[in-house]
Every structure is written in structure tokens, then in C-alpha cells.
Chain A
Amino acid sequence: MSATAPTPSTVTSLRVRSGRTVELLLTLFALVVVGLAYVNVQLATVGEVPQLVWWHLGTYAGIVLALHLVLRWRARYADPLLLPLATLLNGLGLVMIHRIDVGTGSEVAARQLVWTGLAVLAAAATLVAVRDHRLLRRYTYLAMAAGFLLLLLPMLPVVGQEINGSRLWVRLGPLSLQPGELAKIMLTIFFAGYLVSTRDALSLVGRRFLGLQLPRARDLGPILVAWGLSVMILVLQRDLGSSLLFFGLFVAMLYVATERISWIVIGMSLFVGGAFLAWQVFGHVQARVTLWLDPFAPGQSDQVAKGLMGLGHGGIFGTGLGEGYPYITYFANSDYIVAAFGEELGMVGLFALLTLYALLAERGLRTAIGAREGFGKLLAAGLSFTVALQVFVVVGGITRVIPLTGLTTPFLSAGGSSLLANWIIVALLMRVSDHARRPVSERRQDPTKDLTHPRGEVRTR
């Protein structure tokens, strides 16, 4: 007869922990895993553990723990799980690159270790220079210009370089860079800054049709520009992966900003339409699709087939590090490093790696939920989504879920630009999460507290 009303309740947070101790312990744990993997490779290939191994491990540990100290100094409340996850992924990447060096006689691992140092330095510099991520919002359109410039740089005649049929590289003296990796960050900053100020127009206006809130025709402009750009990358640079990555990033951020499913529907249909047209018109796209549908057909690249053979050879528990033949596949240390892990660590190990990526993306999205202002939310969501989408595109290509595209696996693949970009992404996520997790009492002392209006006056320090 009587209905007792639900008891009203309040939610209070427990005492805020900075999480730096957890971070230190988990980072040390990650270094132990990397160390054991390295020792495993040495035991399997050389049969002993030379002194040099400990020097390499010590160098890597020093690099990572230095970043931990920078976090204690500059971002005390940053998410404690980002550094351990990145440490383990990067370290396992170094081990696998070294293992493939042993197989092929190349010397990539040492350079990768140097790049790791530079990338972590760049992450530390990002943390020190960007005291508040909201500062970045002021450079919204500058970020756009920089992003487009970086994307188009490889097309320029002198610096641009075509490798294996794709114009993705820029040669600067001895260095060869893939500017597309850095463009990813710039465009995420631009999308976040742009969408945070236009999302009302993009989400509220428009009519309903078949249960979807359709936008006005003139609000379709930005998505059409993004689509045009991604088709241009596909056609001119012959890079299916980056094309998918940029367009997917834009559509995902549009969805996060507006909560309208219609943008995903519009984006997907535009992309499928564009991809279908490209498949009809361009030979290199057709070749990729044929390779996807029938990787064992004669007269084409056997990269996919070799990767699949490697995964099959690994089976559930893998051959063990240093005991398989992953180096037979082309680009075994960059594009195909996932297949190398699948062969030597097996399905069990590969799933552990994918779980690590899932956790990394989860921490980014958790940061986005915790962030208290729109720009930080969009930035964190966009950055973590690029990492997740890139892993999907790479692993999907290797396992034949989607056509193979030439993207790097974040943190694992050999290649300085990719490492640089991903460590900067992690640094930005740390900065946003530091801001999001900081308790109210310490927020007052925040030197950037007068930055609530992104275009307002700022005291110079």
C-alpha cells in the first residue's frame, strides 16, 4: 500500500590520491617484463646474456623513470596508468625490433632506443611547456594550418620522398620523417577547438528524419572538407591508412561533440562512397582489395600471406621469443610487428598486447569523462580515439578484417616519427588528466587559473 520513496543520497569522493607511487611501482613492473622478454630473446638466439643487455635495459629504465620524475614535478595528479602502459608497449617494441635485427642482421634497435629517448624528451618538454591544455585552444586555426602543411609536406618536390609507392616521408639531411604522424596531433587540437565552439549549431539545428537528427545543408561544410582532404590523401599520397585515420578521427570527434548518431551515419556513408569510387578508379586501391580478399593468389605481394603464416605458426602460446621466423615477412619490425608478436608470443601474448592498447584508450576516454571543460574532453577523447583506431587499422589489416594499409603500430613499430607522436599524445593525455584529477584545494594554486576565457588576457609569468 505504501510506496517508500528511494532514499536520496549524495556522492562524495574519497581522499584524492595523486597515484604517483602506483605509477612508479607499475612502471618498474613494466620494466621487469621488458627485461625478461629481452633476456628471453638473448637466451634463445645467443644462448647467453651479455653485459650489454643490462646497459640497454638500464638506459631504457633511466629514460622512463626520468619522465616519472617530470610527472612528479609538473603533473602531480596525472593519470598513473598511462606511463606504465606506454613503457611496456615501447619496451616490448624495442625487444621485438632487436629480435628482428638478429634475424636479418640489420641495426634498427639502437636507433629506435635513441628515438625513444628523444620521444620521451619531447613528452617531458610538452608537459613542461604546456602548463594548461586550455592554452592550446588559442592556437586552433594555427594547429589546422600546421596540420594541413604537415600532411602536404611529402608532396613537395625537394623534401618529399616516395618509398614503396607511398609519398609519406620527408627527408631532412640524415633524418627521414613521416609528418603525417605529427599532423594527427595538430588536427586533433584543431578539431577539438573548432568543435567546442560550433557544436551547438551542429547538434541542435536540423530536422528529424527516420529517427535521425539531420543537420542543415550548410552545416555539412566541415565534414565535406574533412572528407575531401582524406580522399585527397588517399589519391595523391596513396595512403589508405592515414586517410581512414583522419576521417575516422573527425567523425568520432563530431559524434563526441554533438551526440548525434546522424553524423556517424553521414560520415560512414561518405567514406564508403569515397572508398568505393577510389576502388573503381585507382589501380593501387584495387590491388590492395584483391590482396585482402585473396592473399594467397599468385602474382602479388605475399606480405599478407606471410603474416598469416606467421600467426598460424605461433598458434595459441607462440614459438617463444627468438624461436620463430617473423623476420621473413617484409617490414616485420614496423608495419608487421604485430604479426611478429603473434608468431612468437602466440594468441595469448597478442591478446595481452591488445588489452594493453584497450587499457591505454580507456584511460584516455576516462580522462575525457573527468575533464571539466569541453575542449579538454574533446582533446582527450580525440587523442585516445586515434590510438585505438590506428591499432584497429593495423591489426585489422594484418588479420584480414579490412584491406591492409601502411600504418605504424603505436609504440611498437620501428620509426621515430610514430614514437615521437605517440609519446606526445600520452603527454597531452597526462596534462588533461592532471587537470581533471586535481583536487579543488590545489586547483586554486594553479598558475593558469585566470585562463578560463581562452581568448582573454593572460598574465605572463
Chain B
Amino acid sequence: MGELTLNLVRLGVIVLLWAFVFSVVGALRSDLYGTRVLSRTAGRPARKESRGERRQRRKETPTHVVVTEGSLRGTSVPLHESGLLVGRNPECSLVLTDDYASGRHLRVYPGADAWYADDLGSTNGTLVDGARITTGARLEPGSQIRIGQTVLELRR
């Protein structure tokens, strides 16, 4: 057997040894990539709709309520298909610490093409862009919802 063959075989052993190590590491990657992270909020608001409608809606309609003024300023709450209850009672999704808010103050719910709000008979009322609302008030993205000393805004 020639010297060359021997050297090739010798090199081959080391190369194959490392190739084996790397193929094991390659098979091991499934530990890192074997799980898939799904976003919970993205899928949920429109489960009953078709995919195209949902995409259309997600582009146009807000997905969050953000508190822009008041003691909770900076808080952001996702909007769900089931609606959002705002008030001072602990059962509300957004619990306000505002003395001028009622226990169950406002309900935000989805309509066909936008989010709507009902004032739930609050003592001090709700103003949307400066106008007092009763029920079925349409909320545009960016409109200011004032409850006592708190201002809410719908954001995408």
C-alpha cells in the first residue's frame, strides 16, 4: 500500500470523526428548534372569520387600549373578541384607580368593522373626543375616551 493511500486514510479518520461530531450536533438542533412559539393575541380576536377578513381587520382596527392620562398612565390592555370591561370593580379587565369612575363604567366590544363602546350607566359619564356617549358609540383609532381623570386611547 502506498504512502499516499495511508495518509489519505489517516486524514479520513480524523475528518470522519469530526463529521460525525457535527452530524450529532446537527441532529441535536431539534432541541432548540423543536418548539414553535405562537402569539396568543394575534390568533385570537377573529377566530370565526375567514383568513382574508381577519387580515383586513387586523390592518385597520386597533388591538390595544392604552391609558394615556391618569394614575394608570402607560398601561396597555389587549382587546379581545369577548370585549373589555372598564371600571373600578376587580372583575373588570381594566381596573381603574380613579375616584370619578364607576364600578362598572364602560364596555368596549367589537362590531362588524370597528370597536364600539357602551357606557354602563356610570355616575360621571364617559366622553369620547369631548362628546358624552351613551351606548353603541363607534371608536375610531386614536379617539380619546375620558373616564373621570383617566384618558384611554385605542391603538393598533
Q: Is B76 an interface residue (CB 8 A)?
A: yes
CB of A7 within 8 A of CB of B21, answer no
Interface residues of B, dominant DSSP: helix
CB of B21 within 8 A of CB of A13, answer no
Tell whether A43 pairs with B20 under 8 Å between CB atoms, given A1-B68, A4-B76, A12-B35.
no
Distance, CA A88 to CA B12, complexed state (A): 15
Distance, CA A88 to CA B13, complexed state (A): 12
CB of A14 within 8 A of CB of B13, answer no
Q: Is A10 an interface residue (CB 8 A)?
A: yes
Q: Is A225 an interface residue (CB 8 A)?
A: no
Distance, CA A447 to CA B16, complexed state (A): 41
Kindly list chain B residues whose C-beta atoms are within 8 Å of the C-beta of A2.
66, 68, 74, 76, 153, 155
Kindly list chain B residues whose C-beta atoms are within 8 Å of the C-beta of A10.
37-38, 40
The interface bits of chain A over 1-30 (1 if a CB of B lies within 8 angstroms of the residue's CB, else 0) are 111110111111110010100100010011
Give the A interface residue count (CB, 8 A).
Answer: 50
Distance, CA A116 to CA B84, complexed state (A): 67
- CB-CB nearest in chain A for B6: A43
Q: Is B7 an interface residue (CB 8 A)?
A: yes
The interface bits of chain B over 74-96 (1 if a CB of A lies within 8 angstroms of the residue's CB, else 0) are 11111000000000000000000
CB of B42 within 8 A of CB of A36, answer no
CB of A13 within 8 A of CB of B35, answer yes
CB of B12 within 8 A of CB of A36, answer yes
Tell whether A7 pairs with B39 under 8 Å between CB atoms, given A1-B74, A32-B16, A85-B24.
yes
Stretch at the interface among A63-71, A331-339, A347-355, A421-429: A347-355
CB of A366 within 8 A of CB of B13, answer no
Q: Is A33 an interface residue (CB 8 A)?
A: yes
Kindly list chain B residues whose C-beta atoms are within 8 Å of the C-beta of A359.
21, 24-25, 28
Kindly list chain A residues whose C-beta atoms are within 8 Å of the C-beta of B76.
2-5
Q: How large is the interface on B (under 10, 10 to 19, 20 to 34, 35 or more residues)?
A: 35 or more
Q: Is A387 an interface residue (CB 8 A)?
A: no
CB of A355 within 8 A of CB of B27, answer no
CB of B1 within 8 A of CB of A47, answer yes
Q: Is B5 an interface residue (CB 8 A)?
A: yes
The interface bits of chain A over 369-387 (1 if a CB of B lies within 8 angstroms of the residue's CB, else 0) are 0000000000000000000
**Sample of 16 further A-B pairs with CB below 8 A, known A1-B73, A5-B78:** A1-B68, A4-B66, A13-B34, A17-B30, A22-B27, A33-B20, A36-B13, A36-B16, A40-B12, A47-B1, A85-B24, A318-B14, A320-B10, A348-B18, A356-B24, A359-B21
Interface residues, chain A, with chain B CB atoms under 8 Å away: 1-5, 7-14, 17, 19, 22, 26, 29-30, 32-33, 36-37, 39-40, 43-44, 47-48, 80-81, 84-85, 88, 317-318, 320-321, 323, 345-346, 348-349, 352-353, 355-356, 359, 362, 366
CB pairs A–B below 8 angstroms (16 shown): A9-B37, A9-B38, A10-B38, A11-B36, A14-B34, A17-B30, A33-B13, A40-B9, A48-B1, A81-B24, A321-B13, A323-B10, A345-B14, A352-B14, A352-B17, A359-B24
